[in-house]
Structure 1
Amino acid sequence: MPFITLHLSGSPDPELSRDLSKRIGALACKLLRKDLRRTSVLVRYVPHADWFIADQSLQELGRNAFRLEVTVTDETNTRDEKAIFQREAFQALSTWIGNVHPHSNIHVIDCRATAYGYGGVTQDRHYQALDLGSAPNGP
């Protein structure tokens, strides 16, 4: 059940938001082994003049940037899976957005199963209720 937050430099663009939410959601679910049916994506825009890297705005730099946060339940992904996701997501977003500053970043946030959940139920409780023989993607 990842919750994905994608901050993009620029002005709101509903078509781009829809396109990137589908693409990054699918990529995260594939590489981090999550269920797309339980994935949420939030896209936010920040004006180039309000995003700073090394004391210069993206407007001054003439660049685009992103910050991608993917919240997952701790211990559900390996170190290698997260490293591969970092690489693949950075390459993909750089291509999809274009002219991306190299200090755009990705943060995979591991939350404890007892501190993270949906529907008013922690991931730990969801896990306890699983029939492990029929749950290919885990909590």
Structure 2
Amino acid sequence: MPLITVHYSTPRPATDLKPRIAAAASDLAATILHKDPKVTAVIVEQVDPADWFAAGASLADQNLASFWLDIRIVDSSNTKDEKAEFIAATYARMGELLGPLHSESYVHVNGVRADGYGFGGLTQEQRYIARKLAVAPRQAAIA
């Protein structure tokens, strides 16, 4: 149930870029971080290259693209290696979509506490407990 927010800027004109970015972010979260795409939300916002500054100059002046992707997941639900793979794959995929990237392009895998994060009115911790209670615990054999 991640929430993914992507801000991007590119000098490349493209009419269908937002849905492609959303699909790429959701797909990477599913394939690398094992997040269910049925409960993944993605917000995509475009920023004018003249309004995005990196290393003291606008992206418009540098003729480069950039992005900031923030994904919120339950803390400890993924390994360090999975998160590193997600960051590398996201950077590569955004470069394919947006064009040459400024090195100041970011991915933030934001691990949040299960008791303070949820959707549909329930925290992830409540969902975890409900799943555990739905599976009957094994009774110890009486000797």
Report percent identity of matched pairs.
37
Deviation at 1:108, TM superposition (A): 0.3
1:9 partner letter: S
Q: Which runs of 4+ in 1 moved over 2 A?
A: 10-14, 131-134
What are structure 1's unaligned runs of at least 5 residues?
135-139
Query: What does residue 58 of structure 2 align with?
Result: 57
Matched, 1:2 2:7: no
Contact 2:10-2:64 within 8 A present in 1 as well: no
How far apart are residue 111 of structure 1 and its match? 0.5
Q: Is the 8 A contact 2:53 2:59 kept in 1?
A: yes
SS at match of 2:107: strand
The DSSP-based 3-state class of the residue aligned with 2:35 is: coil
- Tell me how far 1:131 sits from its aligned partner: 4.9
5+ unaligned residues in a row in structure 2: which ranges? 136-143
Q: Taking structure 1 as the reference length, what is the TM-score of the superposition?
A: 0.88
| Aligned residue identity for 2:4 | I
Residue type of the partner of 1:41?
V
| Cα distance in 2 for residues equivalent to 1:8 and 1:125 | 34
TM-aligned CA deviation for residue 125 of structure 1 = 0.5
Inter-partner Cα distance in structure 2 for 1:110 and 1:83: 13
- Describe the shift of the 1:43–1:86 C-alpha distance in structure 2 as closer, same or farther (beyond 3 A): same
Distance 2:94 2:134 in 1: 36
Whether 1:101 and 2:111 are equivalent positions in the alignment is no
Name the CA shift for 1:22/1:133 in 2 (closer, same or farther; >3 Å).
farther
- Number of aligned residues: 134
Q: What amino acid maps onto 1:56 in structure 2?
A: A
> Separation in 1 of the partners of 2:109 and 2:60?
27
**Higher radius of gyration, 1 or 2:** 2
1:19 and 1:132, CA in 2 relative to 1: closer, same or farther beyond 3 A? farther
Residues 1-139 of structure 1: pairs in structure 2 closer than 5 A: 1-10=1-10, 15-131=16-132
Counterpart contact for 2:114–2:123, Cα < 8 Å: yes
**SS of structure 2 residue aligned to 1:114:** helix
Looking at structure 2, the residues matched to 56 and 91 of structure 1 have their Cα atoms a distance apart, in angstroms, of 23
One-letter identity of the residue aligned with 1:101? H
In 2, the alpha carbon distance for the partners of 1:56 and 1:25 equals: 31
CA distance in 2, matches of 1:124, 1:14: 40
